[in-house]
Amino acid sequence: MTAYKRVQQWNTFARVWHLYDATWQNPFESAQRIMKYLKGLHKPIYHPLNDCGDHVVVINSGEIALLGDEWRKRVYFHHTGYPGGATWTLAWELHDKDPTMIMKKAVYNVMDGNLQRRYTMQRLHIYPDDDVPEKIKQNITNQIRQLRPVPKRLDRYAPEEVQRFPKVMDWPKNYILR
Amino acid sequence: MSVLNKFTGLLVSLNKLALSGCVNKHAYLRGYAVRRPLWSTTTTSHLHSVPETQKMILTSSETTEEEQKQSNEIISKVNKQLQQQSEGRLFAVVHICGKQFKVTTEDLIIIEGHWAPQIGDELKLEKVLLAGGTDFTLIGRPVLSSELVLVHATVIEKALSHIKTVFKKKRRKQFQRINFQRTPHTMLRINSIQIKPEINVKKDVEGLESRIF
Amino acid sequence: MVFTSLALFVRNRGPDEFWRKRKILKLSAHFYGRRRNCYSIAIRAVHRALVSATKGRKLKKEDMVALWETRITAGCEEHNMTYPLFREGLVRCNILLNRKTLADLAVWEPRTFKSLVKVAHARVSQDGLAGVTELGDPPSGIITRGMLK
């Protein structure tokens, strides 16, 4: 291969580091998108044998939002292999123990169950908050768009903006809100 | 940027009635599971249940002045490049024996199946679906005019494929068949791809250049 | 035929047993263990191999088509368009490129592919089909070498 072709090949197959902010996102929907980037399905040069997957760094996985009752009702099963080693853990309990687990399990379960899965999962990096190591931050070049729009919280607005916003009605001064 | 060749242009009518009311959400997904011949004239009607009034009709193009100016600019740029012969290496998508090949000059392609041309025959490949270079592409609808794009090829080799063993077996039923098959292969070398300048010139009578009186 | 002893007479099955078995053992030369050397075991393995090869030739074509579709989908998504809409737009414009060619163009001729996407999008939004979103530039992290501007 000539030097030019070699550089062109590096350019085409280079591994890109993507960032995904999981604040207030549904982990299961996000997992579908993240899986695409991890496998390389977003590239026209995709082939299962091609090793064209990218890295994805997920931040704020402690702030994910599950649908409806799922925090209270979704259970994660684990068996240690020993007799009597079956445990059923609720989603909120698992989240308290380790805030990255729900996202990780979501992505793991959405992939096909072949031998590539464990290797591909090594390219996924999940952090419970904004705190990402410096070396990884230096690699990141792209951000994946969030699936659900994140509204701005009322307490994050400046108090002057809240004052300025036109009011249709206001409670009387001596009215006590329950 | 690409330029739609207006030669074969069935000019698109800007019939603004929305189809979304009559086409159900999944109707358009059905279309390409249907097998139909490449050159069928009934293109859209029975595939997508489009009513008669909303089929593509031949009307004069209702493009705006600005769009017309833009497309004229692009076409003149392409013509200039072709006249100066500075287009560089061209590629084309050619349709032979039911298969489409993306070819450039000095390419070797193999056509499988029985095909009449013999070794040494110089062919002009007529069914060109797409042709382009570094700066422009001509997209045919469905085919570019054979007077506009010339793709010349030579038959280099006519041989048989490797031996394919077709073995069928049903276990415990004493049924076993073995057949050996070799399909004829023809190897073509693409000699040249040329695009004649003056694209987008609509002649009064087409198809005369290839006629031998 | 002359057999010097009774034992040899009984064990002989025919003159070309060697070449019959050699035909099979040649095909099983790269198998594992006794399946490459012992005839009775090899013949079963060889039959299974030939049957898989016959079936595989059909499956290969199906696999290639699926791969082309994945590649074209990836190419379309780079421009914020979906594959069914893209196909529909091309078919309605009477552009009859097959999946193999479209996948090749998506890989090797990105600008041509972009213009095909634009054509399909224009047609589909003109006809008013459901699910049409605005075409966008590819995300900033993708290495396009300036070819998709």
pLDDT at residue C100 is higher than 70: yes
pLDDT at A59 over 80: yes
Quick check: is A101 in a domain?
yes
Identify the pLDDT of residue B99: 96
ipTM reported for the complex, 2 dp: 0.85
Residue A177 inside a domain? The answer is no
Segment B60-66 shows an average pLDDT of 67
Tell me how far apart the alpha carbons of residues B196 and A37 are, in angstroms, rounded to a whole number. 44
Confidence at residue C146, expressed as pLDDT on a 0 to 100 scale: 60
- Give the one of A17, A41, A142 whose C-beta lies nearest to C70's C-beta: A41
For the ranges B26-30, C6-10, C54-58, the lowest mean pLDDT is seen at B26-30
Residue A44 falls inside a structural domain: yes
pLDDT of the residue at B51: 43
DSSP state of A135: H
Please classify residue A39 by burial: count the beta carbons closer than 10 Å to its beta carbon, then call 0-12 exposed, 13-18 middle and 19+ buried. buried
Mean pLDDT computed over A96-104: 96
**Partner residue opposite A44 with nearest CB, options C71, C143, C145:** C71
Copy the structure tokens of residue A81.
């292999």
- What is the Cα gyration radius of chain B? 23
Chain B closest-CA separation from residue C74 CA (Å): 18
The owner of tokens 């108090």 is: A159
Q: What is the pLDDT of residue C58?
A: 96
Give chain A's domain count.
1
Average pLDDT of span C64-89: 96
* Contact flag for B and A (3+ C-beta pairs < 8 Å): no
> In this structure, is residue A83 part of a structural domain?
yes
Q: Name residues whose C-beta falls within 8 Å of residue C121's C-beta, 6 or more positions apart in sequence.
A: C81, C85, C86, C89, C132, C135
Quote the pLDDT of residue B53: 42
Q: Report the helix count and the strand count for chain C, using DSSP H and E.
A: 7, 0
Considering only the beta carbons, identify the residue of B32, B129, B130 that sits closest to C91: B32
Using DSSP, state whether A86 is helix, strand or coil.
Answer: strand
Task: Out of A18-32, A58-72, B7-21, C53-67, pick the least confident.
Answer: B7-21
- CA-to-CA distance for B103 and B110, rounded, in angstroms? 12
Section A30-37 average pLDDT: 96
Tokens encoding A18 = 């993507």
pLDDT-based confidence at C139, cuts 50/70/90?
Answer: low
pTM value is: 0.81
Closest CA to B131 of B87, B97, B69, B99: B87
Classify residue A96 by burial, with Cβ atoms within 10 Å: 0-12, 13-18, 19+.
exposed
pLDDT higher than 90, residue B68: no
Q: Which residues of B touch C116 (CB under 8 A)?
A: 2, 139
- Exposed / middle / buried, residue C120 (Cβ in 10 Å: 0-12, 13-18, 19+): buried
- Higher pLDDT, residue C136 or B18: C136
Give me the pLDDT at residue B70, please.
86
Q: Where are the domains of chain B?
A: 2-195
Asked which of B32-46, B158-172, C38-52 is least confident by mean pLDDT, the reply is B32-46
| Domain(s) of CATH 1.10.1900.20: residues in chain C | 60-127
Taking 80 as the threshold, does the pLDDT of residue B36 lie above it?
Answer: no
Residue A133: domain span? 3-148
Decide: A103 and A65 in contact? Cβ < 8 Å: no
pLDDT at B184 over 70: yes
Q: Number of A:C CB contacts under 8 A?
A: 43
C128 shares contact with chain A (CB less than 8 Å): no
State residue C147's pLDDT score.
60
Distance (Å, whole) CA B78 – CA B72: 10
Residue of chain C whose alpha carbon sits nearest to that of A141 = C141
Chains touching A, CB cut-off 8 Å, 3+ pairs: C
* CATH, domain range C60-127: 1.10.1900.20
Please list the alpha-helical segments (H only) found in chain B.
Answer: 27-30, 45-48, 65-83
- The angle subtended at Cα B11 by Cα B9 and Cα B16, nearest 5°, is 150
Is there a domain that residue A48 lies in? yes
Look at residue C48 and give its three-state secondary structure. helix
| H/E element, B101 | strand B99-104
Number of C-beta neighbours around residue A7 at 10 A: 11
Task: Identify residue B74 by its one-letter amino acid code.
Answer: I
DSSP for B7-18, please give it: SS--PPP-----
Cβ contact, residue pair C95, B1, below 8 Å: no
